[in-house]
Amino acid sequence: MAGLLVLQGGGPFTANDDLDRRVLDAMRPASGAGRPRVVVLPTADAFERPADLVVAAMNWAERVDVDVEALMVLARDEALDDGPADVVRAATAVWLVGDSPIHLRSVLKDTPLLDAVRSVHQRGGLVVGVGGSAVALCDPMTDPRGGAFTLGLGVVRGVAVGTETETWSEDHLHRTRKLAGGDTTLVELPTGSALVLGDGGWEAVGDVTVHGELPAVAVAER
C-alpha cells in the first residue's frame, strides 16, 4: 500500500509543525513503540547553507518526536552510489529540503537515490518535499528562472507547483498562470500551505490555489 506524499510551500522545519506532526503520526507503530526515522536530504541547498537546514531539522526533531539522520548528498556522483540509497530505503520518512529545484533535478534524476525515495512511498512511508524541492518532485516543473515549465523528477506527474508564492511578483504569477493555460494543472503554495496525497486523494492544507484539475493518479513508480 502506498504511503503519503506531501508538497509544502516553504518554511522547512519552521512553518509546518502541525501538519508534520499529523503525517508523522500516521507513520508511528500502533503499539507506540519507537519513533519514526526521518532521513533529511538538503541536496537542493548545496550552493547555499545546507548545514543550517540540518541544524533546523535537529531542533524540529525534538519538537515532533522523531529521529533524524541528515544525508549530505550534494552532488550527482554521491546520488549514484548505492550507500545513500540504502540509507533512504531503511527510513520511515524522507524530507527533501532546499531551494534549488534545478540542482535537485540534476543530482537525483535517474539515480539509485531517487529510486530509493520512490520506494519509501511505495511501501507505505512518507515523502515530503518543501519549497524548491517540492517543485522538483513534480513533472512538469516550474522553472524558477522565469516561471516557465520544464522537465522535473516525475515523482508526481501531471501537476506543477509554485512554492513560496507570497514572494512572487504579480508579473511572475501572471506569466506562469498564462503559460500553464488549460494544459497544465498549476498549484500555488505559499509558505505554510501544502498538498497532501494519500489513499483518499488530494487534501489542500492552508491557502492553496489550484488552477485546473488535480489528477486522480499522480504518483509514478518510475
Instruction: Say whether pLDDT at 91 is over 90.
Output: yes
Q: Residue 195's closest CA among 156, 168, 167, 139?
A: 156
Ordered by start, the domain boundaries in the chain are: 4-211
Better-scored residue on pLDDT, 182 or 97: 97
Q: What is the model's pTM?
A: 0.95
Instruction: Say whether pLDDT at 1 is over 80.
Output: no
Residue 131: DSSP 8-state: T
| Range of lowest pLDDT (10-19, 138-147, 148-157, 210-219) | 210-219
Q: Spell out the CATH class of 4-211.
A: alpha beta
Alpha helices in 65-202 (DSSP H): 76-79, 82-89, 101-108, 112-122, 132-137, 170-180
pLDDT of res. 215: 86
d(CA 45, CA 191): 17
d(CA 197, CA 76): 28
Which amino acid makes up residue 188? E
Is the separation of the CB atoms in 93 and 36 below 8 Å? yes
